[in-house]
Amino acid sequence: MRERDLAMSNQPFGTRLRAVMNERGPLCVGIDPHAHLLDAWDLPDTPEGLASFTYGVVDALGDRVGVFKPQSAFFERFGSAGIAVLEQATARLREAGAVVIIDAKRGDIGTTMAGYAAAYLSEKAPLACDALTVSPYLGFGSLQPAVDEARASGAGLFVLALTSNPEGPQFQAARTADGSTVAGAVLDGLRALNADAEDLGSFGAVVGATIAKTTENLDIRGPLLAPGLGAQGATAESLADVFGPAVRNVVPSSSREILGAGPDAVSLQDAAARANDAYRTVLGY
Ligand SMILES: O=c1ccn([C@@H]2O[C@H](COP(=O)(O)O)[C@@H](O)[C@H]2O)c(=O)[nH]1
C-alpha cells in the first residue's frame, strides 16, 4: 500500500471519499456487466466472460478513477462464481487506491441488517467494501446495525432517498405521520448521523440525477450518490439545477455510458476522462 493510502486508510469514509475525488476527480464508474455489454465486448455470457469484462475495467481504470460502484445484481446472476469476481474486483480496486461502493441496496429487520453489515462493512469480511447502498423501507432505524458497523470500521452507507427511476415518487413523495415526505425523513436521518462531520460525513443519500429540481433539503453534510447520468438521460449540466448549493457533495455515477466505450482500454480511459472533466467543471473540483 502506498504511503498516502496507508495514512488515509484509518480515516472515515467521508474523508477518504473527498480526498480521492480531489485527487482523481468526482466521477464514479458503475460496473454493471449487463449481458448486452458482455456481447458488445465480444465476451460470452458466462462467469469467464464476466471476469474478463470486470477485470478489463479494473485494469484500465482502477488507478485513475477515484470511485467505483459495482452493481451486485450482475455478479449475483452467476452465483458463487460471480460473487468471487465481485470480491476480487473490489479488493483490486481498493488496492489501486480507489473507493468502492457496492450497490446491493440491502435492507432488513435490524438483526438481519447486522448480518449484511458484517458481510460488506467489516474489514475482515471477504466482500469488505468502502460503502454499501441500503434501503430504508423497513424504517430508518432498522439501518442502525449498519450505521454502527460503518462507524466502527470507517465505512460508509448510501441510503435510498430520491431514486432515479420514474416509479420512485410513489413511495418517496408520500407523507409520513409527522408530515414530512418519506424522502425528507431519510434526509433528516442522514443529516443527524453526519452532525459531527467537518467536511463530508460518511452517511450519504442516493439522489438520482434525473429527478426534477426538488424542494427537499439536500444539505445532509454527506455525499449524494447520483446515478442516472448518461444512459438514463441526465447530463453534467443538469447537476447544478437538481442539486443547487449541495452540488459540491455529489458523486456522479455513470455505468453504461462509460462501459460502452470498451473493451479497448484507451477508449475506456478516454470516456472516463471526458466524463470526469465535465463533472469537475460543474462540481468545482
Ligand atoms: O436511484 C437509483 C439507484 C441506483 N441506480 C443504479 O445505478 C446504476 C445506473 O446505471 P446506468 O447504466 O448509468 O444507467 C445501476 O446499477 C442502477 O441499479 C440507479 O440507476 N438509480
Find the 49 Cα to ligand 1 centroid distance in Å. 22
In this structure, what are the phi and psi dihedrals at residue 201, rounded to the nearest 5 degrees?
-75, 175
pLDDT at site 223: 98
- Mean pLDDT on 226-242: 96
Asked if 177 contacts 142 with a C-beta cutoff of 8 angstroms, the reply is: no
Answer whether 32 contacts ligand 1 (Cβ < 6 A). yes
Atom of ligand 1 nearest to the CA of 253: 13
Answer whether 210 contacts ligand 1 (Cβ < 6 A). no
3-state secondary structure 98-119: CEEEEEEEECCCHHHHHHHHHH
Give the confidence band of 127 by pLDDT, cuts at 50, 70, 90: very high
Dist. CA 92–CA 147, nearest whole Å:
25
Answer whether 256 contacts ligand 1 (Cβ < 6 A). yes
For 52-73, the pLDDT digits (tens) are 999 999 999 999 999 999 999 9
For 5-20, the pLDDT digits (tens) are 656 778 999 999 999 9
Find the 74 Cα to ligand 1 centroid distance in Å. 12
**pTM for the structure as a whole:** 0.97
Q: Say if residue 3's pLDDT is above 60.
A: no
Mutate to test the pocket of ligand 1, among 28, 32, 105, 171 (most ligand atoms within 8 A of CB): 32
Answer whether 231 contacts ligand 1 (Cβ < 6 A). yes
For 191-228, the pLDDT digits (tens) are 999 999 999 999 999 999 999 889 999 999 999 999 99
pLDDT at site 7: 60
